[in-house]
Amino acid sequence: MLLTDSRLVGPVRVVGSGLLGTSIGLGLRAKGIDVILDDASPANLSLAVDYGAGRPAEPDDSPQLIIVCVPPDVTGRVVAAELAAFPDAIVTDVASVKVQPLEELRAAGADLSRYIGSHPLAGRERGGAVAGRADLFLGRPWVVTGHDDISYREGSAIDDLILDLGAVLVELSPEEHDRAVALVSHVPQLIATLLAKRLLGAAHSSVGLAGQGLRDTTRIAASEPELWVQILGANAPAITPILRAYRDDLDAVLAALEHPTAPGARRTLAEAIAAGNAGVAAIPGKHGQDRRYSQMVVMVDDRPGELARLLTEIGASGVNMEDLRLEHSPGAQIGLAEISVLPEVEQQLTDELESRGWRIAGASL
């Protein structure tokens, strides 16, 4: 059922029908907006149309807004072509780097009065139109990177897009954006990749001991190499200072481990770990709140309906579950459900679940 409470008027043209382009199309179509899809690949375009993300372009289209969803190495060129082809439209892009496209457009003499970059921090491990979801951006940050050549009136259509898709608008300069994603996205991708690389050639008996910690820290290492080569190259000036600092920290830890009984070695290790604790605490929690939660680990038998029963009984206890993480116990027919709750209700929930027969494997702050 299409809704009509959209801030945008439309039509909206989406160039690129991968995960982001298809998800944008699906979200806007759910709002009743006329979405025009275009893609260099006819097969990709046809698939996105089949999924209901929009319709193919027609010669007399006159879009209100154009959203370019293509790889970073061609973003500037495609944006320039869209600005030239549709002189009445506002154009944005969703590339994960913002300085490079703006510099390319400025060097090409493009009409920057109708362009403003943006970046939704949302995604999935799978790509392509088949992974598209209308709710992909719900509650996720979507950065708008303003510049001096565009007016607030012209840029307001992009704000409307973000709000229509349920995202949270964040305003940063292009430079601030690239420094921020270098720290919270691009460097973690490299670290996870290098950590996962150490597993190559490892004995099966070693890899078989892997727990949730290794899975958590290497999950993003499965990302697409071709895309990340483009992202890392485009944002190299912001990434390299962070990697140099990481290298210095690693050198200090390495020196301490080479001589673990030397004076100051244990202190170096303790301070590194404590700094990591402080860094984790700095990451905003649920709803962006700066709060710490207690984690309870509940053993769940690996059979149909058990997890649903656990969640139902947590709800029946009157305790709000703040977060949930699942892990399977190697070699056992049980799962471990790590339940995050406010510290003041941890004991209440523990008593309630134990009274209902659940096994609590552990609890920690």
Distance CA 103, CA 235 (A): 13
At residue 211, the pLDDT reads 78
Distance CA 50, CA 191 (A): 38
Q: What is the largest distance, in Å, between two alpha-carbon atoms of the chain?
A: 76
At residue 54, does pLDDT exceed 90?
A: yes
Question: How many Cβ atoms sit within 10 Å of the Cβ of residue 58?
Answer: 8
Distance CA 171, CA 144 (A): 5
And the tokens for 338?
């790590």
Mean pLDDT confidence for 355-361: 88
Beta bridge partners of 148: none
Report the run of H or E that residue 248 belongs to, with start and end: helix 236-258
Give residue 342's pLDDT band: very low, low, confident or very high (50, 70, 90): confident
- Where is pLDDT greater, at 80 or 332? 80
pLDDT digits (tens, 9 = 90+) for 18-44: 999 999 999 999 999 999 999 999 999
Domain architecture of the chain: domains with CATH:
12-172 (3.40.50.720), 179-281 (1.10.3660.10), 288-364 (3.30.70.260)
Which of 132, 135, 129, 158 minimizes the C-alpha distance to 145? 158
Distance CA 105, CA 65 (A): 18
Question: How many Cβ atoms sit within 10 Å of the Cβ of residue 234?
Answer: 23
- Where is pLDDT greater, at 297 or 15? 15
Q: Following DSSP, what letter does each residue of 304-322 receive, concatenated?
A: TTHHHHHHHHHHHTTPPP-
First to last CA, the chain: 44
Where do the DSSP E strands lie in the chain?
A: 12-15, 35-38, 55-56, 65-68, 90-93, 117-120, 141-145, 168-172, 294-301, 323-328, 334-341, 359-364
Which of 17, 1, 85 minimizes the C-alpha distance to 56? 17
At residue 1, does pLDDT exceed 50?
A: no
Q: What is the average pLDDT score of the chain? A: 89
- Where is pLDDT greater, at 79 or 215? 79
Distance CA 91, CA 106 (A): 14
Give residue 4's pLDDT band: very low, low, confident or very high (50, 70, 90): low
At residue 64, does pLDDT exceed 70?
A: yes
At residue 193, the pLDDT reads 95
At residue 172, the pLDDT reads 96
Give residue 330's pLDDT band: very low, low, confident or very high (50, 70, 90): low
Cis amide prior to 141 (ω within 30 degrees): no
Give this prediction's pTM: 0.79
Give residue 216's pLDDT band: very low, low, confident or very high (50, 70, 90): confident
- Where is pLDDT greater, at 124 or 359? 359
pLDDT digits (tens, 9 = 90+) for 138-181: 999 999 999 988 876 667 899 999 999 999 999 999 999 999 99
Mean pLDDT confidence for 250-270: 96
What one-letter code names the amino acid at 186? Answer: H
Q: Helix (H, G, I), strand (E, B), or coil: what is residue 170?
A: strand
Mean pLDDT confidence for 347-359: 90
Give residue 365's pLDDT band: very low, low, confident or very high (50, 70, 90): very low
Residue whose pair of structure tokens reads 């977060």 in the numeric block: 323
At residue 363, does pLDDT exceed 50?
A: no
At residue 79, does pLDDT exceed 80?
A: yes
Distance CA 339, CA 293 (A): 9
And the tokens for 73?
């190495």
CA atoms within 13 A of residue 175's CA, in its CB half-sphere: 1
Question: How many Cβ atoms sit within 10 Å of the Cβ of residue 211?
Answer: 12
